[in-house]
Structure formats: C-alpha cells, structure tokens
Chain A
Amino acid sequence: MSEVQGQAAGVEEEDVKLTPELIAFIAEWKPQPGNLIMVLHRVQEHFGYIPRPIAFEVAELLEIPVAKVYGVITFYHFFRMTKPGRHTVAVCMGTACYLKGGQELIDELETLLGCSNGSVTDDGEFGIQAVRCIGCCGLAPVLTVDGEVFGNLKTDDLPEILAQFRGK
C-alpha cells in the first residue's frame, strides 16, 4: 500500500500522460462540435485536476490552440489546474449555509488543517474548498468529504469527521 502511495506521490507532473481510454474518448468526441468542455470533464474526472502537459496534449489532439483550452479551463470554477488533496473537504457557502455558519466551518478547518481555503495540506492529505449550494440546504451548514455529505454541523464536529478520512 505504502509503496503504491509512494509511487503516486513520486509522479512528477511532467510524466503524466493521457491513457489509451482518454485518447479514445477524445477521438470519439473530436468530430462533435462543442466537445472541449466534455473532454475536459473527462480528463478532470480521471486525474482529479487538469495537469499542464495534458492540457497541451488535449489541444493537440483536438487540433485547437492551447490558448483556447486555457481560456476555457480558467473561465470555469469547476476546472482546476492544481493537484487536489487525497481527500477534498468541500464546505458549502451557498446562502443557506452561509447564514448558518459556513464561514465558521471554513475558519475552523483552516485552523485544524493548517492550510487555507483553496489549498492542500503539506502532506497532501486534505484540501479545503468552498463550494456553492449542494442542494441540502435543509441540513445547513453542510460540507462534503470526497462527496459524502455531513449536515447540521457545528465546528466541534469537524475533528471527528477528519479523523474518519485521515490516512484512508
């Protein structure tokens, strides 16, 4: 296990390559107009983010300027170009959650994890992200860890939630 993790951590960004499946996916979408966003979604789903070299490869395969690929990636909040943590803590900052203390959750997480909103801890374990309404406003304030929803939270609940994921 640790060996695999070590390997994963050791992968330099420059080494990332499109997998055969991704290349096939791009080939399938290439003839369809308006394909870029769908391709980028698939890439991000695979890597967890859009690595720089991949953005170049995508441009080449779709035969469009790299500037267009970058233009799209930077326009949309959903796309990211930095590597996420092994676990992503997404705190809802939609209106209902904001009113019920979403900011306090972020503040407390920043203290607990020692990294700021939008960044990843030094050991790469957790990343904090503020997101918008996830549709569970009845349970506000809400956060998700790797997609699992935790609702009706108080700052005191946070250490226990993090413990459930740390090292997993």
Chain B
Amino acid sequence: MKYKQYVLVCSGTACESSKSKDLIDALYHEVLAADLGADIQIVKTGCFGFCEKGPIVKVLPEETFYVQVKPDDAAEIVQEHLVKGRPVTRLLYDPQQSKAHAKLEDIDFYQKQVRIVLRNCGVIDPDSIDEYIARDGYVALEKVLFEMTPEGVIDELRKSGLRGRGGAGFPTWRKWEFTRQVASDEKYVMCNADEGDPGAYMDRSTLEGDPHSILEAMMIAGYTCGSCKGIIYIRAEYPLAIERLNRAISQAKEYGLMGEKILGTDFCFDIEIRLGAGAFVCGEETALIASTEGGRGMPIPRPPFPAVKGLWDKPTVINNVETYASIPVILMKGGDWYAKIGTETSKGTKVFALTGKIKNSGLIEVPMGTTLRDIIFGIGGGIKDGKKFKAVQTGGPSGGLIPEQYLDTPIDYENLGKLGSIVGSGGMIVMDEDDCVVDVTKFYLDFSVDESCGKCAPCRIGGKTLLTLLDRVSKGTGTDADIASMKQLSTAMQRASLCGLGQTTPNPVLSIIRHFEDELNAHIKDRHCPAGKCSALVRYEIDEEACIGCTVCARKCPVNCIAGERKQPHVIDQERCVKCGACLEACKFNAVIKS
C-alpha cells in the first residue's frame, strides 16, 4: 500500500446533497494541516447504499464506518482517529456498542447483502480508471478478447442463468445469441439507463459509482454479437452520472481500452451517450430506439424484435445497466459460480432501492431468493416510528402491492409474479398503517396515465377510465359494479395494449382488489378511509371542550374557513374546508379531531 490509511467519502447524489463535497474539502484541509498528506489518501467514492445515514465516511485499513458526517466533523476525525488512532465513537452507526458496530459488515444493514453489481460502489473513485483496473477492471474484457469465442461468452452467460434486470427478466444469453445470429454489416449495443420508475435509483448509483463496469460489459457484448458501436441512453435528469460516464469513456480511450484495435486486437468499439428527455415510456425498448433516432418516443409492435430490427433498422442488443454491471464478474468467475447464487429460476443478485416508511432506507443488493421479510425487517430495520407494516410495493407503476401475509416469500421473478407484482427494475417501497392503498394506487395510475404515449386506445382510454373509477372509490362514491368494471378493463388493457406500459398499468389496481378487499370495501360500503388519507372521506372538527380559543388554527388555515372569537371555541366551516390538515398539525391542545 502506498498510503498508510485511506479515507473513503461517499459522493453519490444523495450524499453530495448532504454536503459531502464540503466534507471532502474539509478533510483535505485538516489532513494537510496535520502534515499527513503523504500518509493518508482521501478518496471520493460512489454510493455505499446506506443513504438514510449519509454522508458516509469509511477509514481503511481498519474499516471504521462513520455515518452522518458533517464538514465540521472533519477536524475531529483527523485529529482523533488519524493522528491519535482513536475512533470517533459518536459518529459510529451505533455509539453504544462502538466495538461491535465499528465495521461495515457488523451493521445489520449490510449483513444479508451480497454485492456483485455494487462491488465497486463505495470502494473506488469512479473518476479513476486506475482504481477500477486495480479491482480487476477490464480483466474480463481481456479474457474475452484473448481466450474466448463469442459462443464461449454466450455459453458462460447461459450457465450463469442471468436474466435481464430492466424488468422483464428475459435471459440475457438468448438475447445476445439472437443478435449474434442475424447477419448484418452493422449492429448496435445499447444500454438502457432511462430508469423511469419514480422512486428508484439503482441504475443511477451504479453509473455514478462504477461507470467503467458498464463500458466493459458493453464492449464484451459488442465482441460477442459482432457490433462495434455502443450507445448509452440515459436520463437527462442524471447529470452526475452523465459527467462520470463521459470521463470514463475518455479515460478508456486514452488507455487503449476503447476505440480502434482494442488491446492490440482487431476488435474496435466506440460508445456514445444519448440523452433522454423525461418520458417514462422511452424505457420500453422500441420507444427507446425511436427516441434515440431523434423522434417522439413511441413504441412499435414486436416482432420484429430489436435483435433483428432495432436502431436504424439494424440488429440491436439492449440491456439494462444492472444486467451489464453483472457481466464482467460472471465472465471472470464463471457462469457456474454465479448460478450458485439465487433460486432455481432466478440466479444471482438483485439491487433494490429500499424506501418509504422504513428505518434504514437505501440501496441494497441481495441474492435472489431472499425473503421480503429479511429485507424489510432485517436489512431495513423495520418500520419507522413504531408504526405497523401495511404493504410493500415492488415494480413501481407496473407492479403491485404485497400484504403482510406474503412477507416470507423468497423474491424471484416467478414468485412475485404469482403475487400479482413483478420484480421490476428494483424499486421497493414500504408502506405503513398511515398509507391508504387506494390513494397510493391512484398515485401510480395517475403516473401511468400521464406517461401513456397515446398511441394505442387500450392504454390511452383504459388507463384514464380506470383512474376515474378509482377516483370515485377514493371519494366514497364507488360501487361494487365499479370494481367489476375495473377488473374487466384491466384484463382488456393487459391483453390489447401495444407495449408493456399499457399491459402493466392495471397491475397496482388488480393487486389491491386481490389483497386489500377490506380496505377497498371500507371506502365503498362505509365511505370510510381507514388510513385517513382520502381527503374526501375525512372530516376535521374542533372539540369545543378542548379548544381554548388560541386562534392558531384559524391563522394557519389556508382558506380561512375557521371562525371563532379569541378565547372562545372555534368552528370549522365544513362547506369550505379543503381538508388539508393544517389545523390538526397546528393545534397544541389536541382539540382538532380527524374522523
């Protein structure tokens, strides 16, 4: 080791927003001031995943793991830990058990995780190709170019059982094989980094934390399928990832790892970046191609599949970021090794963005087959604020809500499908007793309706109608007949929509009809929202006895519908009340009652 100690600081988007840049500057400053510049290296890394507790700092070789570190803490870390060798206990994850929880592996959050895709995130500086290479980066590419035939690569992927992580779970080796078999003067390798699920950021963190792994895998795909041109389609909303990808591309070119005659062989490959512009449907592969071609991102019917007729009508292999990130490891360690992880039908690991009403929110990677309970109550630490678990949602707007009784289900493509949800790209959102399933489903439907491109009628009209029906339920005017219509409409949309967007839009609706009948019925039969979320069904009233007439609620009310003299009980005008709940929040005497 060149340096005696390394200080790793997370600079993913979430931590950077919590001032990790200032923290890095402060650490530099303190290290120089302590004259330790020659012994200590400060490394800015990608996401550690433990975003809830960011910014994260890790000190090597002792592996001390500090959480929620502020720029002002830099002096203490340098003076105490680096100079005197005494860890700063108050910044450890669990200061009470400082010894036991000093290291990353000791924290529950990391115990059940297996990091393959995220192997380098939080470990290397994403802007340094040397650090990627030092962690076996580009070894797989070298092995493929010098020791493997394209058939050999496909065979290894087949053995690994890797399935696409973009949502559909299509075996990757098959897709590569199809593309390889089509004869064409030109072929394309595309990376789908359009990550559209609103509430998920797996691909973003991977790109920000380990951009070279994507480039390496795309080149391997190029060699295997016979293509020399790669395109990464990435959301414009991810500026940091774009910047790091651009830097990685120019570094790889500088090192002769990309461009002409890679590593002295006859293989040539170039990668270009194309920006998305905020349309969810562009994550669908045919729409993604239309958008890359510069037009409106509308899907077209398949077949022909992109493997036959894709970008500019040429054979195109499209994979998701996470799929690519798994490939260099698989080729290095072998398909058989990878296939040992996971379940019968779903191999390897999956990254999830665990968010919502969970204690430890963050980015996690677990073997397929891990149970939902292990993730939510083990890694995630359970529900926030001692509330009761209600549901977990996977697959974003295309997935479904899963209730408590299925928490012991091992996660894989088939199992979640049976429960009416999907593995999806990796959003996992936990809901507690305060969330209403009708309200949340309305949120997803609203999203899908907004994002429908309008090309096919089942999706354009069906989605809108579903939303109208569900809106009735949330207002207390829904009927049993509405539920029947929703089921019928859903089936029609699943069967007749042109692309995956319309086909999966009904999923959240169907999942609540199936798993949350009681809560739905409460809205229909009793005109009652058990969680108190559906505003049309809640009523705010002031308890005359408890109200002391302090006037705070009247002043807070945005529509001035609370009247009353000072020191006299106040009254809410129900006609004008917009049910925002501001009065409830403002009252210090528990005089506002929600019913």
Contacts and interface: CB of A to CB of B under 8 A. Distances in A.
Interface of A: 33-38, 40-41, 68, 71-72, 75-79, 93-100, 104, 107, 111, 131-140, 142, 148-151
B50 to A, nearest CB: 8
Q: Which of A95, A135, A150 has the most CB of B within 10 A?
A: A135
B353 interface: yes
B295 A68 contact: yes
Given A34-B292, A75-B297, A137-B353, 9 more contacts: A37-B291, A38-B274, A78-B278, A93-B198, A100-B357, A133-B197, A135-B13, A136-B13, A148-B17
B205 A135 contact: yes
Contacts of A135: 13-14, 201, 204-205, 238
Contact of A96 (B275, B276, B429): B429
B530 interface: no
Nearest to A35: B294
Contacts of B295: 36, 68, 71-72
A139 B51 contact: yes
Contact-residue size bin, chain B (C-beta under 8 Å from the other chain): 35 or more
A76 B290 CA distance: 13
Contacts of B236: 41, 78
B440 interface: yes
Contacts of B294: 33-38, 72
A79 B236 CA distance: 11
Interface string B258-283: 00000000000000001111110000
A152 to B, nearest CB: 10
Contacts of A68: 295
Nearest to B289: A34
Nearest to A40: B277
Contacts of A72: 294-296
B558 interface: yes
B272 to A, nearest CB: 9
B79 interface: no
A95 B199 contact: yes
5 contacts: A40-B277, A41-B275, A95-B355, A99-B435, A137-B199
Contact of A140 (B292, B355, B435): B355
B225 to A, nearest CB: 21
B52 A138 contact: yes
A133 B296 contact: no
A99 B355 CA distance: 10
A111 B443 contact: no
B51 A138 contact: yes
B526 to A, nearest CB: 24
B293 interface: yes
B279 A137 contact: no
A94 to B, nearest CB: 4
3 nearest A-B residue pairs (beta carbon): A149-B17, A95-B199, A138-B51
A132 B291 CA distance: 20
B343 interface: no
Contacts of B16: 149
Contact of B355 (A35, A96, A111): A96
Q: Which of A35, A93, A94, A138 has the most CB of B within 10 A?
A: A138
A159 B196 CA distance: 31
Contacts of B320: none
B549 interface: no
Interface in B190-227: 197-201, 204-205
B349 interface: no
B427 interface: yes
Contacts of A95: 198-199, 355-356, 393, 396, 427, 429, 440, 443-444
Nearest to A135: B201
Nearest to B296: A75
A150 B276 CA distance: 25
B198 A111 contact: no
A92 B444 CA distance: 15
Given A72-B296, A138-B361, A133 B277 contact: no
Contacts of B468: none
Contacts of B51: 136-139
B54 interface: yes
Interface in B517-552: none
A78 B237 CA distance: 8
Contacts of B199: 94-97, 133, 137
B70 to A, nearest CB: 14
B18 interface: yes
Contacts of B238: 135
Q: Which of B199, B200, B361 has the most CB of A within 10 A?
A: B199
A131 B444 CA distance: 14
Contact of A131 (B237, B355, B396, B427): B237
Contacts of A138: 14, 51-52, 54, 355, 361-362
B355 A137 contact: yes
B431 interface: yes
Contacts of B353: 137
A84 to B, nearest CB: 15
B193 to A, nearest CB: 12
B33 interface: no
Given A95-B199, A136-B14, A111 B361 contact: no
A138 B12 CA distance: 12
A100 B434 CA distance: 10
Given A75-B296, A95-B396, A151 B17 contact: yes
B312 interface: yes
B183 interface: no
B277 A137 contact: no
A37 B236 CA distance: 11
Q: Which of A33, A75, A134 has the most CB of B within 10 A?
A: A75
B356 to A, nearest CB: 5
Contacts of A134: 13, 237
Given A95-B427, A133-B199, A137-B361, A37 B275 contact: yes
A41 B277 contact: yes
A94 B52 CA distance: 17
A100 B431 CA distance: 10
Contact of B18 (A71, A75, A111, A151): A151
B34 interface: no
A33 B274 CA distance: 12
A41 B393 CA distance: 34
B580 interface: yes
Nearest to B443: A98
Contact of A139 (B14, B237, B312): B14
A37 B277 contact: yes
Contacts of A79: 277
Q: Which of A34, A40, A79 has the most CB of B within 10 A?
A: A34
